[in-house]
Amino acid sequence: MDRSYYFSDRANKMQRSVIRELLKLTNNPEVISFAGGLPAPETFPVEYVKRATAKVLVEEHRKALQYGATEGDPRLRKKLAEIMQRDGIDADPEHVLVTTASQQGLEIMAKVFFNPGDTCIVGLPTYLGGLQSIKSYGGVPVGVELDDDGMIPAKLVEKLDELEAEGRRPRLLYIIPDFQNPAGVTIPLERRKEIVKIARDRDYIIVEDTPYRQIRFRGKNEPTFQSLAPERVLSLYTFSKIMLPGFRLGWAYGPDWLINKFVMAKQSMDLCTPPFNQAVTYHMLEEGALEAGLETIIKLYHSRCDLMLAELEKNLGDVEGVTWTKPDGGLFLWLTLPEGMNSDDLFTKAIEENVAYVPGSAFFPMNEDHRSMRLNFSYSDEDQIVEGCRRLGKLIKESRS
């Protein structure tokens, strides 16, 4: 029986998330996992959730437990615009669309922009969830090399020239500018301006995926792409990394003509993001949960990032060809192995040694990189970071020799 017959071409091309599958292997409590993108549970604002939930159930249950508008709770949309305004963006609440976290924003992006075979510019490497969404609608992600300052403008121009000459003009540029997932790098202001100029000169839309921006523990914030080019930038945000992931709340922001199309696409997905979660989040924001929580998150992740960097230096600093990024915020860093080593092959041995990471190939459009790995420093506690880096360092040294 050819079961593929029953599925659409799109469904037959679907693949399971590499990270979600890998996480199943790390359920063993003895495994120290640097694989997921999980926030630290001790940062979750439980008391704020309790108070806001009680308030909504007592005072607003008739509305909060009912269907809601696709665009989102007007009170929450106003709050989200205020968050953006404090970040230097002239945000209008009418241009805010509340989404079921930023992953839905990526899914809507793919649904709205891509016909099968359409190309899209992404970083090399880039977020696996973005690649999945683009591919699920037949889009073809084309990578542009990153360095320690993010996407390289000269390489971007080369790739655009190449694609345009082939008649494969990309639909958009997908960029994670702050503490990029998976590399942990941030694009500085001058480079942002260069990329904006390229987009304006060639008439491209930029999709700015910015889930970690508020988690900066070194240096100063760079202006958002949204503030630099509001007429051609669509920004995606989420509360998953900056407050709590369980509510699955995020938002999209951009020009009205883009947001209007996003609203239409969302209506056939879920009608509306859960009104109850929106109401609870609104009251939490009113009470200051975001600001209080970020203070705790930044302090904790700063400490854990510095510890992981120190332990990597201690265990791998003397191994020629091993390098890693040094992020100023976010949740991840990117480690590259010496020539000839393969992080995919090493993964099985790592699990046997009870330490886990995500092989770098998962973050490339064609799985073309096999020397790198993504390490998460937000979830594991200090003892686990020390022991996990020891195990990883020992494994890499033994495998190299």
Q: Cα–Cα distance between 16 and 24 in angstroms, integer?
A: 12
Closest C-alpha among 236, 188, 190, 189 to residue 212: 236
Planar angle of CA 12, 16, 22, nearest 5 degrees: 160
Q: Is the dihedral of CA 262, 132, 184, 120 positive or negative?
A: negative
pLDDT, residue 4, reads 75
List of residues 6+ apart from 247 with CB closer than 8 A: 239, 277, 280, 281
d(CA 377, CA 327): 11
**pLDDT one-digit tens code per residue, 293-318:** 999 999 999 999 999 999 999 999 99
Check: CATH 3.90.650.10 for 66-288?
no
pLDDT for the residue 254:
98
Task: Write out pLDDT tens, residues 185-224.
Answer: 999 999 999 999 999 999 999 999 999 999 999 999 999 9
Indicate if the pLDDT at residue 334 is higher than 70: yes
Report the chain's terminal Cα–Cα distance, integer Å. 48
Does the domain made of 3-44+292-400 have the CATH classification 3.90.1150.10?
yes
Q: Measuring CA to CA, how many Å separate 15 from each of 20, 183, 372?
A: 11, 23, 21
Topology agreement, domain 3-44+292-400 and domain 66-288 = no
What is the chain's length? 401
In this structure, what token pair is assigned to residue 122?
A: 């992404």
Looking at residue 64, its amino acid is A
Place 5 in a pLDDT band, splitting at 50, 70 and 90: confident
145 pairs with which residues across the strands? 124
Residue 122 pairs in a beta bridge with 143
Q: What is the pLDDT of residue 23?
A: 64
Domain ranges for the chain: 3-44+292-400, 66-288
3-state class of 329 per DSSP? strand
Mean pLDDT of 83-111: 97
Q: What is the pLDDT of residue 86?
A: 97
Sheet order of strands, 323-324 included:
323-324, 332-336, 372-376, 358-359
- Rounded CA separation 249/123 (Å): 25
CA distance 180 to 188: 12
C-alpha dist (Å) from residue 217 to 91, 179, 195, 326: 25, 11, 25, 12
The pTM of this model reads 0.94
Q: What is the mean pLDDT of residues 61-77?
A: 97
- Of 6 and 336, the one with more pLDDT: 336
What digits encode the pLDDT tens for the residues 27-63? 678 899 999 889 999 999 999 999 999 999 999 999 9
Task: Tell me the DSSP string of 362-377.
Answer: GGSTT----SEEEEE-
Q: What's the one-letter identity of residue 75?
A: R
pLDDT bracket for residue 21 (50, 70, 90): low
State yes or no: pLDDT of 269 exceeds 90. Answer: yes
Arithmetic mean of pLDDT, 373-381: 97
Beta strands across the sheet bearing 233-238: 96-99, 250-253, 233-238, 205-209, 172-175, 119-124, 140-147, 150-151
Pair 342, 371: CB distance under 8 Å: yes
pLDDT greater than 70 at residue 25: no
Per-residue model confidence (pLDDT) at position 22? 64
Amino acid at residue number 74: P
Choose among 65, 69, 66: nearest CA to 263: 69
pLDDT class for 145, splitting at 50, 70, 90?
very high
Q: How far apart are CA 342 and CA 372, in angstroms?
A: 8
Residue 234 DSSP label: E
pLDDT for the residue numbered 98: 98
